[in-house]
Amino acid sequence: MADLRENESKTLLALRDAGGRSAVESIVQASGLTDSAVMRAALTLGASGLVRVDETKRTKLELNDEGRDYAENGLPERRLVKILQSMGGRAGKEAVLRAASLNANISVIALGWLSRKRWATIEKETQELKLLGEPSEGSDEKLLSMLKEKGDVVVDGLSDEMKKAAEVLKGRKIVEVRVEAERRLELTEAGQELVNKGIKVTMEVSELTPELIVSGKWKETQLRAYDIRAPVASAWGGKKHPYLRFLDELKRRLVAFGFKEMAGPNVELSFFNCDGLFMPQDHPAREIHDTYFIKDPENGSLDNYQGFLENVKKAHENGWKTGSKGWGYTFSKSEAARLLLRSQTTAASARMLINEGLEVPGKYFAIARCFRPDVIDKTHLTEFNQVEGIIVGEDLNLMNLLGVLEKFAVDVAGADKVKYRPDYFPFTEPSVELAAYREGYGWVEFGGSGIFRPELTLPLGIKVPVLAWGLGVDRLFMMKAGIDDIRYLFAQDLDWLRRTEMV
C-alpha cells in the first residue's frame, strides 16, 4: 500500500472512483479539496508520472447589456422591418425611424444592416424605405435567441453557420468573449497500478495550533512535509516594459559610442520641423492630411531666431550663399511660426545645430516621439518613436554614414545583413534608405539618412559636413524581439509582458 500526502491520496482516489479520468471541477466536488489544492496535487503527481494533466481552452460567448436588449426586443434592423411592415412595406425613412424610437447612432447602424441583409432598400429620390420580400430569421438572430436561453455558448461547438454569426455579433460588439481553460486529470498506467495496490490517506496538518498542543493531539498528528521540489505558482515581480528597457539600453549604447543626447519639444515650430530643414512651404508633407497642426494657439514665437530666420528665408527664395537657386517662391514668416506636433526628430537636429553648446567635431542623438496622421496597420501608428543622429565634423563622407547605419542594424536590431537604397529628402544629398534582414524575420525598412545639404547647414551657421539619420526605433525593437505587428508594442498582454526577457 502506497503512502502519499493527504491531498495527493484524495486526488488519486477521486480519479479512481471517476473511472480514471475526470475534470478538475469534478475532482474538487468528490474530494472536498479546493481547486488550487487539487491542481497542486496534480502537478506533483504528474511530476511522479502518476497523472496526466490535459488542458483544453474553450471560447465562450455571452450577451452584454446591449445584446440582452436586442435578444429581448429584436435587432435594430428587425425593429425597422416590423415598423415598415405595419406601414404597408413602404414608407419615408424618417417616419420609420421615428416610429422605431432609435437614437441617431443606432439608426445609422440599423439602416446599414437593412441594406447589407437585403431586407429593404432606400430610394434615393424619395428617401423612402421599401421592403424586399419577407425577411426570414437570420443566423445572427438565432444565435441571439440561443444566448438568451442558455446564457452562454461554446464557440467550438457551433456549426459553421453559427460560427460566422458569432463573428458578426462580436463585430457588432453585442457579445462578450471569454476564454476558459478546462483541465482534465487522467491516471497513467503507473497511477492505475498504484491505485490498485491500495492507497492510505494520512491526515496531515500544515501548522501546529495552540489547540493541538494543549489537547495533546499533536502526538498523533502528522505534520505535512515541505517538498522544495514541488511546483508552485509563478510570481511576477514588477519591471519595466520590454520596449522601455530596450530604449534605455539603446541610449546606453549610443552614449558608449560617444554620442550626446539632444532634445526638442513635442509641440514644435514649423521653422524647425520644416523650414529650417529646407522643406518648401508648399511641400506635400505640410498638408493637414500629413501633419497635426495645433488649433489653439495657432502660432508660436520666432523672436529668438530672427537671424537664422532671415538666412533660411533667403535660402528658400533664391539660395542665398549656398550655391543653390533655392525654391523660387516668396517665403512666409507667419507660416514658419505655425505650431504642430513634431512629425520627425530631424527637428531636434535643427535645434542642436544652432545650440551654443554644439561641439565640432561632435556626435548627437535623440530618441523622441513623432506624430503623423497615418492609417494604422501592422507597420504604422499615428504616434511612433524615431532615433535621430547627427555627426558634425570635417572630412565626413557617405562611407562614414553607411558604416554607422550598419552598426545600428547589426548591434542594435540583431540584423544579419543590410542594404541601402537611393532615396530623396529635401534636406539631404545624397539620401539613403536603410533596410535590414534577419534570418527567420525577413527584410524591414528602418528609415532614411543622408548628408545635410548646404541649404540647411549654412543658414544655421554650420560650415562643415553633417551626417544625419532618422530611423524607426519601434521597428528596430520589433526585429530584435521578433514581433511582426507594431501595435503589439502597446498591447496589454500580461503573459507576454511577464515572460519577455530583456532583448
**Pairwise CA distance, residues 232 & 207, whole Å:** 19
**Eight-class DSSP state of 440:** T
Tell whether the model's pLDDT for residue 113 goes beyond 50. yes
Answer left, alpha or beta for residue 285, where phi above 0 means left and psi between -120 and 50 means alpha.
Answer: alpha
Tell me the residue type at 357: G
pLDDT per residue as tens digits for the range 457-497: 999 999 999 999 988 888 888 877 888 888 878 777 787 78
Which residue stretches of 151-241 are H helix?
160-171, 189-197, 210-215
pLDDT per residue as tens digits for the range 203-222: 666 677 888 788 887 777 77
Residues 256 and 369 in one domain: yes
Tell whether the model's pLDDT for residue 46 goes beyond 90. no
**Pairwise CA distance, residues 87 & 96, whole Å:** 8
Residues 367 and 450 in one domain: yes
Domain boundary among 161, 176, 191: 176
Percentage of residues in the chain having pLDDT higher than 70: 95
Asked if residue 228 is part of any domain, the answer here is no
User: 160: domain CATH number?
Assistant: 1.10.10
Tell whether the model's pLDDT for residue 366 goes beyond 80. yes
Residues 137 and 43 in one domain: no
Q: What is the mean pLDDT of residues 257-270?
A: 94
Q: What is the pLDDT of residue 453?
A: 94
Q: What is the mean pLDDT of residues 102-118?
A: 83
Percentage of residues in the chain having pLDDT higher than 90: 30
Q: What is the pLDDT of residue 493?
A: 77
Residues 157 and 93 in one domain: yes
| Residue of 56, 57, 55, 61 lying closest to 155 (CA atoms) | 61
Asked if residue 357 is part of any domain, the answer here is yes
Residues 373 and 252 in one domain: yes
Asked if residue 445 is part of any domain, the answer here is yes
Paired with 185 in beta bridges are 22, 53
**Pairwise CA distance, residues 228 & 292, whole Å:** 59
User: 36: domain CATH number?
Assistant: 1.10.10.10
**Eight-class DSSP state of 217:** G
Residues 28 and 96 in one domain: no
Asked if residue 381 is part of any domain, the answer here is yes
Mean pLDDT, the chain, rounded, equals 86
**Pairwise CA distance, residues 422 & 430, whole Å:** 8
| Domain extent for 356 | 245-266+344-499
Q: What is the pLDDT of residue 296?
A: 92
Q: What is the mean pLDDT of residues 34-55?
A: 85
Tell whether the model's pLDDT for residue 503 goes beyond 60. no
Residues 46 and 71 in one domain: no
Tell me the residue type at 481: A
In terms of average pLDDT, the best of 31-45, 269-283, 370-384 is: 269-283
Residues 170 and 145 in one domain: yes
pLDDT per residue as tens digits for the range 369-382: 999 887 777 777 88
Neighbours of 188 (CB within 10 A): 16
Beta strands in 99-208 (DSSP E): 120-123, 128-131, 152-154, 175-187, 199-201, 204-205
Residues 135 and 187 in one domain: no
The domain total for the chain is: 3
Residues 69 and 166 in one domain: yes
Q: What is the mean pLDDT of residues 436-442?
A: 85
The sign one gets for the Cα dihedral 34, 36, 40, 45 is: positive
Residues 18 and 117 in one domain: no
Q: What is the pLDDT of residue 279?
A: 92
Tell whether the model's pLDDT for residue 391 goes beyond 90. yes
Do residues 357 and 461 touch, judged by C-beta distance below 8 A?
no
Asked if residue 483 is part of any domain, the answer here is yes
Residues 491 and 357 in one domain: yes
Higher pLDDT, 174 or 501: 174
Tell whether the model's pLDDT for residue 362 goes beyond 70. yes
Q: What is the pLDDT of residue 1?
A: 45
Q: What is the mean pLDDT of residues 384-394?
A: 92
Domain boundary among 157, 176, 195: 176
Our CA angle for 63, 66, 69, nearest 5°, is 90
pLDDT per residue as tens digits for the range 119-163: 888 887 888 888 888 888 889 999 999 998 888 888 888 888 988
| Residue of 486, 475, 482, 474 lying closest to 501 (CA atoms) | 482
User: 396: domain CATH number?
Assistant: 3.30.930.10
Tell whether the model's pLDDT for residue 331 goes beyond 90. yes
Tell whether the model's pLDDT for residue 230 goes beyond 70. no
